Every structure is written in structure tokens, then in C-alpha cells.
Structure 1
Amino acid sequence: MRRIGLYPGTFDPPTNGHIDIFGRAMKLVDELVIGVAVNESKKPLFSLDERVAMVKAECAKLNGPGLAEIRVLPMHGLLMKFAEACGAQIILRGLRAVQDFEYEFQMTAMNEQLNPDIETVFLMADVRHQAVASRLVKEIASLGGNISSFVTPEVKTALLEKYRK
């Protein structure tokens, strides 16, 4: 049986921390679905199509023997319904700090009530990325700060283009 993992997120924009989790998650499953979520409460800077395209471009750089296939899909609606539709047995989540854990702990408990057959696996952020949050990267970029160590050159270009408009 193929192990399918789902890594959901807004990815507005995808950061080096996200990409690190993508690469590490690829070692754990046969197929990795990256669900780029619609989350209007976060007021995304990039459209859903732009975020899907950015994540696809970054994932195209990740491949190698023994690594999972990656599918990047727009994700609408309830996470567990999306996971079921993808055939995922595992939800993968990255953790940076205690606040992440508290939120994820609550979400995992609720998701388990919705479908106890889907496991949630947490991956700790690499220490280089523990402080990196898309929200902060956007703020730094909007104020003219250097974001080179937080995102890839392609994402940096896309961010700077957004803030030039």
C-alpha cells in the first residue's frame, strides 16, 4: 500500500522553512500532496493560483532516488475531507515554537474526531528556520528589508514585485 502524506498550508509565500519540511516529508511517504489552502481569514498577499505556482516551482527542484512523488493541489474546504479525497493516511505538519504546538495539538484532536484513521505527524523546524514565518517575511519585504535568507530567489522576486505595485 502506498503511503500518501498531506502537507497543508497557506504558503503565502512559501519560505525556506516550508521547503525544508517538503524535503524531509518526502523521505517519509511514497506520495506527498501539498495542499495549498484557501484561507481568506489570513488575507493572503498572493492569489491561490500564484501560491500553487510558486509551490510547484519550488517542489520541481526537489527530487531524487527514494523520495516521494509530489503533487501540489489547491485545497478548499475541510482539511479531513480533502485528506480523504487525496487518499492520505498521514497529515504532516511543521512545528516552530510552543505556540505552533498548542494550535496544532488542538487541531489534531479535532481532526482525529473527524477521522481517526488519519494520523498526524509533526516535523520540527530546522533551527535555521524556527523564527521564519510567512507573515514576518511579508512584513520585512514590505518595509524594504532583506529577505534573502528566508525565501528562495524566485519567491523573493515575486514578493518584491508585489510590493512595488
Structure 2
Amino acid sequence: MTTAFYPGSFDPMTRGHLDVLVQALTVASTVIVGIGVHPGKAPMFTFEERAEMIRASLAEIVPEKAAAVSVVSFDRLVVDAARSNGAKLLIRGLRDGTDLDYEMQMAGMNRQMAPDIQTVFLPAGTASRPITATLVRQIASMGGDVSAFVPTAVLHALAAKFKR
């Protein structure tokens, strides 16, 4: 059994995140979604809200795989969080060449610090390549329709957050 660690802020989870998570379940038997918590940043959603949106989003599209995913928080180096959760793979999603350049640097540094943990790059699907959580937050906060960019559970959470 291979365990993968999929880190991110997931604030909020997008269809792009979900696409990568579903792909990760094809290369690992268990995926731990690690929600990074930074004490100096104020996320839109709490850890608990983000964890629930991730679980609900996954259950909506692949309920048979929901049990293979767990959600944890972490506030240290990704490789340390992956190791402490028993993961041998780090999952990173790629949207474009800019992501690749950044992620290759990170993978190199992570490999130096933790040669026992392998980074796996998974390409975002064509429809989800332009989606970023930052843009979703901005569009939603200004009353825009983000239904094409986020799973149903996230859409409801954003509507409640902005009272729309």
C-alpha cells in the first residue's frame, strides 16, 4: 500500500484540486490531504470547513474512494508532514509551465531534505487549468458565478459566506 500526501491551502477547494485528488487515488492506495496552516495568514475558511468541503466534494463524485482519503492540518515543512503521516509520495498538481518551473525547484529541495519521499506531478485537466483558489475567492466575493470552478459543497459554502 502506497500513501501519498497532497498538500495545499485548499481555501477553497476547486475543481482543479479535486481533479488532482482523484488522479492521486489512481497512483496511491491512500491519500492524505494536508491543509497547510500558517499562523500569520487568515484563510477565508477554517481548517474544519475546508476539511468538510474536501470530504463532501470527493464523496459527491467518487463515493467509493472517499474512505481512502483523510484530511490533516500541518504547520511545518511538507516533507516532515508527509513523513509523519507515513507518506512516500508527494502529490503536486500542474496547470502550466509556470507551475512546473516552481514545482521543479520545490521537488529538488524536498528531495535533498527527504530522499525517501518522491514527488509526483499530476497535470490538471483542460477545463480546470485556469482555476485558482485566489481567483475563485475574488470572483465569489464580488458576486460572480463560480459554479463552473468549484464542487457543489464549496459553492454552497461560498454562497453562505457571502450571503448570496
Q: Identical aligned pairs, as a percentage?
A: 37
Q: Helix, strand or coil: the match of 2:27?
A: coil
CA distance in 1, matches of 2:59, 2:67: 12
2:57 and 2:152 in contact (8 A); partners too: no
Larger mean Cα displacement after TM superposition, 24-33 or 41-50: 41-50
* Mapping for residues 52-67 of structure 1, pairs under 5 Å: 52-61=51-60, 62-64=62-64
Aligned to 1:151: 150
Q: Say whether residues 1:102 and 2:109 are aligned partners.
A: no
Q: Deviations over 1:93-131 (max 9, x none)?
A: 100012211221111111111111110000010000000
Unaligned runs of 5+ in 1: none
Aligned to 1:7: 6
Aligned to 1:44: 43
Larger mean Cα displacement after TM superposition, 120-129 or 71-80: 71-80
Unaligned runs of 5+ in 2: none
TM-score by length of 2: 0.91
CA distance in 2, matches of 1:79, 1:94: 15
CA distance in 2, matches of 1:89, 1:146: 38
Q: Helix, strand or coil: the match of 2:72?
A: strand
Letter in 2 for 1:159: L
CA distance in 2, matches of 1:125, 1:114: 27
Over 2 Å off, 4+ runs: 39-43, 59-65
Q: Say whether residues 1:21 and 2:5 are aligned partners.
A: no
Letter in 2 for 1:109: G
CA distance in 2, matches of 1:64, 1:53: 17
Larger mean Cα displacement after TM superposition, 45-54 or 121-130: 45-54
Shift of 1:42: 5.5
Larger mean Cα displacement after TM superposition, 152-161 or 22-31: 152-161
TM-score by length of 1: 0.91
